[in-house]
Amino acid sequence: MSERTVDDATMRVIPFPNAPSPPQIAFNRDELRTIFNLYGRRVADGEWRDYALDFRRDKAVFSIYRRASEMPLYRIEKDPKLARRQGAYAVIAAGGLVLKRGHDLARVIAVLEKPLRAV
C-alpha cells in the first residue's frame, strides 16, 4: 500500500491523510559521542575540518571533510538492515571502498585512528 495515490483526471499526487511515515534512522547519543571523540582528535591534529550529518529513512551517515568544498574523505554509515548480516556500521572511503564493517561502532571507526609511533 502506497502513501500516495494519483488522481487520474488531473494527474496530481494526493497524499493519504493518516499514512504513517517510516521511521528515520539516526545515531543515538552514545554513537555520536564515540564519533565526535575521534572527530575532535583529528580536528585538533589539523587533518579534518568539517562534517555533515545526514539522516535518511534507510541509513544515517556522518561525512568527514578536509575542506567544506570537497567530497567527503570518509563516511561513517549506520544501516540497521545489515545489523544481523555484516554489521550495521561501516566506514567508507571517498572512492566508495568499504574500509571496515561490523557490529561495534568503536571497533569499526578504529580504522580511522592514527597509528601510534615512537617518539
Is 2 a member of any domain? no
Take residue 38 and report the three cell numbers written for it: 575521534
Q: Per-residue confidence at 71, pLDDT binned at 50, 70, 90?
A: confident
Is 119 a member of any domain? no
Q: Per-residue confidence at 92, pLDDT binned at 50, 70, 90?
A: very high
Is 20 a member of any domain? no
Is 9 a member of any domain? no
Q: Per-residue confidence at 83, pLDDT binned at 50, 70, 90?
A: confident
How far, in Å, CA of 78 to CA of 109, rounded? 12
5 forms bridges with which residues in the sheet? 14
How many domains, in total, are found in the chain?
1
- Which of 17-21, 48-52, 88-92 comes out lowest in average pLDDT? 17-21
Is 10 a member of any domain? no
pLDDT of 59 strictly over 80:
yes
- Which residue range is the domain that position 62 belongs to? 29-112
pLDDT of residue 54: 92
DSSP letter for 111, please.
G
pLDDT of residue 107: 93
